[in-house]
Amino acid sequence: MHMEVLDVTPELAAEWLTRNTNNRPLSKATVQQLAARIQRGEWQLTHQGIAFDEDGVLIDGQHRLAAVVRAGLTVPMTVAHGVPRTAFTVMDTGRKRTGRDALALAGEANATHLAAALRGLHLYLHAPNSAWSGGSSVTSNDQLLTLLAEHPDIRDAMQHGIAFNRACRITVTAATIGWYVTTRARPELDQSSWREGLITGARLEPGDPRLTLRNTMLNLATGASHRRRDDSREHLLYYLKAWNAWAEGRSVKLLRRSPNETMPRISRSSPVAPSAG
């Protein structure tokens, strides 16, 4: 067996794919994700590349090669020749490095919550009405690190998100994003009474958006549907609806999500000063 580093062009990748005669089914979603990373300039040369067996049959790297073809760009790859066919059963069996791992290795605290919040923030900013699960929601580790550099205050927002989660069971992801995007969009509003009301529920009258959001989250937490308890997109939608009402001085007694409802944008209308209660 011998290895070399080659610049793999789309044409060479397509030719090598013709040797892909006995491999696992190709995942179109994985190819799209890899191609997008190549196009964003995130591709890096590593020891992981492609491999041919003793007969020149491609036994590893079909998704990388298909991504090169799809991206239409040349990238460097490690290429192994003469790999024993019997090694196929142990290829790609290690644990994938997650966004949490990348953030933890970068020295970030609460890496699990931070990775989820950054992923949700990316979707809120760039695809607010798409599904927050499945292949279309995947963000690369490089994207998460770049997003953190662009939005460093998400770290502070996460502490508020954790406090809201403990108080009323809204997901940390939704509460973190909700706090971050509203304080960023409306820095002139003092949100201390919003925070206190949502955490304690003390002295709030029926119809107060803080009480309505708090009760909605607690009711979802004790309901039968586990999915709705953990649906950060739905929780964020409720958070923003309630926050908009609070910022405008409106009462709201019910929060619900209609089919195909789009994610609310943050209200920028001249607010009626929210109650300090």
Pair 141, 189 in one domain = yes
pLDDT in tens, 190-229: 999 999 999 999 999 999 999 999 999 999 988 765 556 6
Is residue 112 a part of any domain in this protein? yes
pLDDT in tens, 243-272: 999 999 999 999 998 888 899 999 987 554
Please tell me the distance from the alpha carbon of residue 140 to that of residue 121, in angstroms, as a whole number. 13
Pair 82, 125 in one domain = no
Residue 170 — pLDDT band, cuts 50, 70, 90? Answer: very high
Pair 65, 121 in one domain = no
Its domain, for residue 42, covers 2-90
Number of structural domains found in the chain = 2
Which DSSP symbol is given to 90?
G
Is residue 253 a part of any domain in this protein? no
pLDDT in tens, 129-155: 777 766 667 888 999 999 999 999 999
pTM of structure: 0.71
Q: Which residues contact 79 (CB under 8 A, 6 or more apart)?
A: 3, 4, 5, 6, 8, 49, 50, 51, 52
Is residue 263 a part of any domain in this protein? no
- How many angstroms from the chain centroid is the CA of residue 66? 24
Pair 82, 110 in one domain = no
